[in-house]
Structure formats: C-alpha cells, structure tokens
C-alpha cells in the first residue's frame, strides 16, 4: 500500500503482516510515516493505493498522550469504551476490575486524572483499551514523555501483559532499546517516503525480565538495529 497527502508522498509501497501473538516494533527517522502506518492499520485513514485487511475490527489504539477525561475517575475512564460498545454496567465494572488489576491500578479506581502520575495515566489508557479485549493493539510512542525509570517499568509491565493476553501488537517508538526489549519482530523504516528497509527477529522468549538489557547479546542486537536505523536516515 502507499499513502500520499496532497503532493507529499508519505509512504512508498509497503507491505506488513502482523499475526496474533506477535509483537512488532517499528522504528524509523522522525517524519518517515510510522504514525501513518498505525492510522492505516486502525482504519482511521485509507491508503492512496492498495488495501488494508484485518481479521477483526476490535482494535485498541494507544496514543502518545493518555487522552483521559478529567471529570471522570480512573474507573469511569476505563469503562467509557464499554459504555460506547453497549456493555451493561455490571459487565463493564467486572471487566474494569480485571483490567485495573492487570495494570496495577485497582487502588486508584476512584482517583481523578489530575491526581495521577504520567505513568499511571498511561496505565489507565491501556486499561481502557483492554476493556474490550482487542485482537490488535496499536501503540504510538506511548512512553516517550516518561522518565527513564517509569518507562522501563511500563516496558516490563507491557511485556508481562502481552505474555498473558497474546494479542497482535504494532509498537512505534524512537527508542532502539525499548523496541528490542518488547518485540518478537522489529522493523526499520527509511526516511520519507517511508518504506521497510530492515527486519530483525528478536530471539528472547516471553515473558522477559528487565535484566536481559544487560546481556551482551542484547547489546549486539541493539547495535545492529541502531546501525540499520542510522543508514536508513
């Protein structure tokens, strides 16, 4: 598929398949079209040429900002998509109990977003999408604004969540370390118009422990990805 915005070619012909139980990280230079790939995958926009096929329309989309409603509590933010989807109140609360426990926010269910840290807001955003048990998760640099400690913690939590739920995931990031830690497969895009220029299979099994970041093999793999990214830029 390709995508153009007026006279600007955002994506060269690009083909991408993500299977259930696969976590794909996508890295590339700024402005290369990574977020455009996510929007195409979600159905928010249509390709200029080609098609996008999904086996399910149950898609979770995690944006760079948590986009929480400040007048609703954590639990009310989480159940919002259930309300739109027609879930009964009892079922929505049952699912909220489950996903808030998964992201470690059960004790904060009655708090408002103003009282939450950046990491807790992002956990709430993830829990909100989890409520409908999506088959495909799209992540648009969700941890980019967090400090290093919070980011590493959320990386580990997302990895554990994926190990349990085994959805299909496409994760956009500028961090090579993050991309390698999370992915079962890692793709590198070129500068605009974006195209796929490199692919790496990540050999680590799930669930993963944060300590793998300190292993020599991890450093070698991250270095190879960084070199491919530099060449693509």
Residues 164, 223: one domain? yes
Structurally, the chain folds into a number of domains equal to 2
Residues 155, 92: one domain? no
Between strands 59-62 and 3-5, the pairing is unpaired
Residues 222, 153: one domain? yes
Residues 192, 86: one domain? no
pTM of this structure:
0.93
**Angle value at C-alpha 203, between 151 and 201, nearest 5 degrees:** 90
Going by C-alpha positions, the residue among 158, 147, 77, 138 that lies closest to residue 119 is 147
* 67: in domain: no
d(CA 134, CA 150): 25
The answer to whether 143 touches 109, Cβ cutoff 8 Å, is no
Condensed to tens digits (0 to 9), the pLDDT of residues 160-171 reads: 999 999 999 999
Say what percent of the chain tops pLDDT 90: 82
pLDDT band per the 50, 70, 90 thresholds, residue 54 = confident
**Angle value at C-alpha 201, between 66 and 206, nearest 5 degrees:** 60
Residue that is last in its domain, among 118, 133, 148: 133
What is the pLDDT at residue 136? 94
Q: How many helices (H) and strands (E) does the chain have?
A: 8, 8
What is the pLDDT at residue 216? 96
Instruction: Please state the rounded mean pLDDT for residues 174-193.
Output: 96
Q: Is the pLDDT of residue 233 over 90?
A: no
d(CA 92, CA 40): 29
Looking at every residue in the chain, the average pLDDT score rounds to 93
- Which domain covers residue 180, as residue numbers? 3-58+135-232
Q: Is the pLDDT of residue 21 over 90?
A: yes
Residues 92, 128: one domain? yes
Residues 204, 140: one domain? yes
Residues 139, 213: one domain? yes
Say which CATH number the domain at 26 has: 3.40.50.300
DSSP label of 165:
H
Q: How many CB atoms lie within 10 A of CB 4?
A: 13
Alpha carbon of residue 83 to chain centroid: 23
Instruction: Please state the rounded mean pLDDT for residues 39-65.
Output: 91
Structural Rg of the chain based on CA atoms:
18
Q: Is the pLDDT of residue 87 over 90?
A: no
Question: For residue 184, what are its two tokens?
Answer: 């079962």
Residues 227, 175: one domain? yes
Instruction: Please state the rounded mean pLDDT for residues 100-121.
Output: 94
Residues 77, 123: one domain? yes
* 64: in domain: no
What is the pLDDT at residue 57? 87
What is the pLDDT at residue 186? 98
Say what percent of the chain tops pLDDT 70: 100
Q: Is the pLDDT of residue 89 over 90?
A: no
Residues 26, 82: one domain? no
């Amino acid at each position: 598929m390709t995508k153009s915005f007026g006279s600007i070619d955002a994506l060269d012909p690009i083909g991408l398949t993500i299977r259930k139980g696969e976590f794909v990280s996508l890295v590339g230079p700024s402005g290369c079209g990574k977020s455009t790939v996510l929007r195409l995958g979600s159905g928010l926009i249509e390709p200029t040429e080609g098609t996008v096929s999904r086996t399910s329309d149950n898609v979770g989309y995690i944006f760079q900002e948590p986009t929480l409603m400040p007048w609703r509590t954590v639990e009310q933010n989480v159940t919002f998509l259930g309300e739109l989807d027609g879930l009964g109140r009892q079922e929505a609360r049952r699912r909220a109990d489950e996903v808030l426990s998964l992201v470690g926010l059960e004790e904060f269910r009655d708090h408002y977003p103003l009282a939450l840290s950046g990491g807790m807001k992002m956990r709430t955003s993830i829990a909100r999408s989890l409520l409908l048990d999506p088959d495909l998760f799209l992540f648009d640099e969700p941890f980019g604004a967090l400090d290093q400690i919070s980011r590493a913690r959320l990386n580990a939590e997302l990895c554990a969540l994926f190990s349990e739920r085994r959805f299909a995931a496409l994760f956009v990031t500028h961090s090579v370390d993050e991309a390698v830690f999370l992915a079962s497969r890692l793709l590198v895009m070129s500068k605009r118009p974006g195209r796929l220029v490199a692919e790496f299979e990540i050999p680590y099994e799930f669930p993963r422990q944060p300590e793998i970041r300190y292993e020599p093999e991890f450093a070698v793999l991250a270095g190879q990805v960084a070199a491919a990214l530099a060449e693509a830029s």
